[in-house]
Amino acid sequence: MELIANFLLQILLAVGAVVFFGLLLALGRRVFCRISGSVGPKILLATGIIGTPVHELSHALMCLIFGHKITEIKLYQNPYKTGDASGAMGYVNHSYNPKNLYHQIGNFFIGIAPILVGSGVLLLLMWLLIPSVFADVFSELEMLGLITFDLFDGAMYADLFSVFGGVFLATFGFGNWSNQLWWVYMILALTIATHMEVSTPDIKSGVKGFLFLAGVLLAVDVILFFVSVPALNAVTGALASFSFTVTGFLMISALFSALMILVALLVRGIRKLIKK
């Protein structure tokens, strides 16, 4: 029973944060498109000039890391002009050896790459453009390492919410508004976050890779269970720390996804005023 409990918890920790924030980003984009109406596609095309290349290059980066061969890459296109029925503003076609376990596991990371790499790019830009804000945000994220993981402990969720609030205030606090580079960062971050949503092909590829990843993790857990249960528990604990760290990165992306919804509401409000 302890083996199964550890395995299920590891799966939750390994992919839970990514799936949760991935769903938030997907929901945020749908809400944005619904609110913005006919203006939405035009905004997405404009933001896609920066956001789409970051999205596609994140796929390409993971392809290289996991040994996949990139056969074709398109960093940006207008699907309305090219006649792409899928509506894709970019793509990365790649091939791999289906008998290679490392290649198969890579499909998971290639699929979720826009979420992980995109979040990393947002933090990198913050460090480059507004280092003082980055220092404040990083200070808040360090608090994640002090949180004890327990699914049934309400205090854990309260601590996570506290960190989330601290990151929000550090990023969007009124004290930043007089900094011109902060506004530059806001624009860049919005264009990137708007295009971090994974596509249907990304999800299909990711699910396939996840099954292989889960199989490897289960095999390792079985070995550790019979060799050393404390070692098995240590692996679970390490994944908990990793999951909290990833959660911290993804918080930034979720904030900008929410901000895009506010932008859509503002655009709709302005359009109504103009019509009057």
**Residue 61 lies inside a defined structural domain of this protein:** no
Q: How far apart are the first and last CA of the chain?
A: 66
pLDDT at 85: 65
Residue at 230: amino acid letter: P
Is there a domain that residue 53 lies in?
no
**Does 60 reside within a domain?**
no
In the chain, the number of structural domains is: 1
Are 254 and 118 spatial neighbours (Cβ–Cβ below 8 Å)? no
C-beta contacts of 30-37 below 8 A and 24+ residues apart: 31/261, 31/264, 32/194, 32/260, 32/261, 32/263, 32/264, 35/261, 35/264, 35/265, 35/268, 36/264, 36/267, 36/268, 37/268
Query: In this structure, is residue 142 part of a structural domain?
Result: yes
The answer to whether position 167 is within a domain reads yes
Q: Residue 9 burial by CB count (10 A; 0-12/13-18/19+): exposed, middle or buried?
A: middle
Q: Which tokens is 119 given?
A: 């979040």
Task: Please list the pLDDT of the chain residue by residue as tens digits (276 residues).
Answer: 778 888 888 888 778 778 888 888 888 888 888 887 777 788 888 899 999 999 999 999 999 999 999 999 999 998 877 766 667 888 999 999 989 989 999 999 998 899 889 988 999 999 999 999 999 988 888 777 667 766 677 777 788 788 888 888 899 888 899 999 999 999 999 899 888 888 777 888 788 888 888 888 888 888 888 888 888 888 887 777 777 777 777 888 888 888 888 878 887 777 777 776
Distance of CA 179 to the CA centre of its chain: 27
pLDDT at 205: 79
Any alpha helices (H) in the chain, and if so which ranges? 2-36, 39-65, 79-82, 101-129, 131-142, 154-172, 180-193, 200-227, 229-275
Question: Residue 86 falls within a domain, yes or no?
Answer: no
Domain that holds residue 213: 2-47+113-275
Q: Does residue 85 form part of some domain?
A: no
Q: Which residue from 160, 163, 140 is spatially nearest to 150, judged by alpha carbons?
A: 160
d(CA 113, CA 188): 19
Q: Is residue 72 part of a domain?
A: no
81: Cα separation from own chain's centroid: 29
**Residues 171, 133: contact at Cβ < 8 Å?**
yes
Query: What's the pTM value of the predicted model, to 2 decimals?
Result: 0.86
User: Rounded distance, CA 168 to CA 125, Å?
Assistant: 17
Predicted pLDDT at 276 = 64
Give yes or no for a contact between 225 and 236, defined as CB atoms under 8 angstroms apart.
Answer: no
